[in-house]
Structure 1
Amino acid sequence: TRLCIITNDIRVNFCKEPERINAADGEIIKVWWLTSLWSNIYWDFIPVLLTENMLPTTRESFIRFKKSLFIPQKRDSNTHIALSAIHRYPQNTLLIIEIAKVCFFRKMFHVANMMISTLLASNFHHVVARSMRMHIFLNLALEQQEFSVAKVYFQQSINEGLFMTNHCLIEDEEPWCEFGLVYLGVAFRILTINRKKEDGFKDTEYVNYNNFINQLKKAEKCFQQGLTFSPTGLGNRSGFWVVHTQTLIELFKTNENFFHKDQPLRDLKDIYAQNAVKYYKFSGWFDELFDFDFFIERAKSSIEIYENSVLLKSYIPNMKFAFATMQFDFNPFLTTGDIKQILSWLYEANKNAKDLIEYKLGIYSFLNCFVQIQSPDEFISYVDKTINLIKKLLKEDLLKEDDNLIDKKKLKGVKFLLLYIEERVKPGILV
């Protein structure tokens, strides 16, 4: 069963050693019990937790909830049921993670962290809880206007990542991918501050080109570790991020002006596609015969498997955008049919994002090149801009047959992963 779960990309964590159990027929079998689920990324919300009775869905109820949580002596007798459940069942790690997850995706980051604290008090090495806290601090860092405050959060996020990767049981690529995204977030905050001359620009010991490249290299190292921890050695998420970070390092090393000058970031030499081809060859998607039909089938199969493993409402819009990004940014050849598929994914991403509005949940979004929790409205606006840009650049090609090969010079170096690097996600809770 453990083998089936791992090979089918079901994101769970097992105990360190199996327990030997005597079956009814006298057979001795090994039992691996689950210690946690990667529910903060893959598993969907428990519907009842999205209701007002359980957790706040308005600004007014959030204020009451926060007071009840952080100031127990002022606890509201009619407080939300989820808070009472945590106090009643402090050992129930699955319950606490699910409650913290809703708070996290409503951008109630300090509240989510408090929930995680309850869990870590009883299970100090809970890898999913550590990962979630790491991204709580990352999101808080990225929302700060004062860079001196952001640096404190960045460091705490890194500290959580170091603890997680050094002391927790890691069996798959997820912790390494999540940790790599922290370094990526630090790198792009440095980049934006330097290019836009924002607060922190004078902190030259931290905000400088060498530190920017160093943070990218640390991110790449984490993603490379993700490849290693993947059962296949190829990774799903980690492969994508390895190509991305390697390309960024190459782009900024060949054109240092990208770091210093506020100019559009473009990949005129199609370095993303070149590095992607190297990865595809490494993974066996391309062989020495350069069988493109085989590559297409492998890509479709990989997408289907990953799509079936993702159940979280807040991740699905981002996943659809990621599929479109891989096709647009990494594909060495683009046809009209490819562009139509890309547009289809983008429309699906918007549709899935709209479904989140009624639940007041954010999206696990990498539209700005690293991961932040973003409101559905904000996500949709950027996807709309992307759709309009494609239609503008490839207006004539979209009228042609699906097998029409597109001249990539028409794209003028545009890559989805570079379009919104410097866009700041609007801070504040989503209720």
Structure 2
Amino acid sequence: MLDPNQLRKDLATVIDRLALRGMVFDAERFNRLEARRKTVQVETENLQARRNAVSKLIGQLKSKGADASQELAESQAIPARLKELEAELAAVQAELNEWLMTLPNLPHASVPAGASADDNVEVRRWLPAAAAADGNPQPLPFEPKDHVSLGEPLGLDFDAARKLSGARFMMLRGPIARLHRALAQFMLDLQTTEHGYLECYTPYIVNSSTLFGTGQLPKFKDDMFWVTKGGADDEPNLDEHGNAVASEDLYLISTAEIPLTASVRDSIVPLSALPMKLTAHTPCFRSEAGSGGRDTRGMIRQHQFDKVEMVQIVHPDTSYDVLEQMVGHAEAVLQKLRVPYRVVLLCGGDMGFGSAKTYDLEVWLPAQNTWREISSVSNCEAFQARRMQARYRPEKGKPEYLHTLNGSGLAVGRALVAVLENYQQEDGSIVVPEVLRPYMGGLTVLSS
């Protein structure tokens, strides 16, 4: 959520920064709400001061034996009006907060202007061998097959998944299932043993409060899978202590970022606990409501996929250094796999809702002869923390909002696609990347 104080003190900057996203901020609406808030607050403060003055006057009149009936009548009327003002102020604040919940984060000053992915800026690329004349990886010495043609003989089965669940699901069997598992284990081991992340196991189902806190709701409700709880209609909703609690809508997670980041919701984290570095391997579920017609062939865009997620929860002074560090943690996966990739800085119009600055990692896919996203690493600054009321306690002063960062380390399915296409041989077999062989029982080649 945007900082209301920044809106009040520096509205022009907010307007300019949101314009980087191609968004026109409704300044008239904000000023109207702000004027109402100020009017109510001023009347409230004046009435509270008057209540105190009248109370003092009543005491003085009574001590002199004078008639205080008029002052008593005024004093008795004040609480009712204060209650009305309190309700009016709550309504204004609720309208403002509901609106702010729909507004995206402000882009950092270093984010380039632009409307779409065409305006993103390449920062660097990494190739395991010499580049071709056009700067891209050298083409394979034979006509490359795509990952579907390569994967199906190894156990990739879309037909079986379609019978079970519908389109955009997959089933893996045998060698390719093992390779998929090997990738996930390798990524987790790398992030925990070399980069210092704490491995976590998280719920795959979360409530709506969690999603409001991390920014998926209300904007992306149609992109989530909702969960209907079974049981009798009159069955009470109980917490872990057996106490009845209010029922909330439940959703399947679209990324492990959600439970990892929300683990500090409604918390004040000790300064000594920062930075918090968390990772988890989870399935991710996305309805892809806004992606009709895109990437319908293969594993690129699925309703269910696996991902190893990295989250850091840090002191605000360090978050941009941490962002660069996390990009390096994602790059390390691809470098150890020896898969060509490039790092791209996203423009304002292509960034995610909660991000202040985002880098994408894109892998090279020979069959498509192009780069495809495999990781996105973002600094959300205090945007999520403000929504979650997640703070830290500095050495002096009041608690302040944390900064949160997240990134894929990596998307397992897309890493599998990259390995299949970049390690394919002319006969359709797949050389197992050296770093994965310990996870594959020493296998060096997969063939049907």
Using the size of structure 2 for normalisation, the TM-score is 0.23
Higher strand share: 2
Structure having greater relative contact order (Cα 8 Å, sep ≥ 6):
2
Structure number with higher helix proportion = 1
Structure exhibiting the larger radius of gyration computed from Cα positions = 2
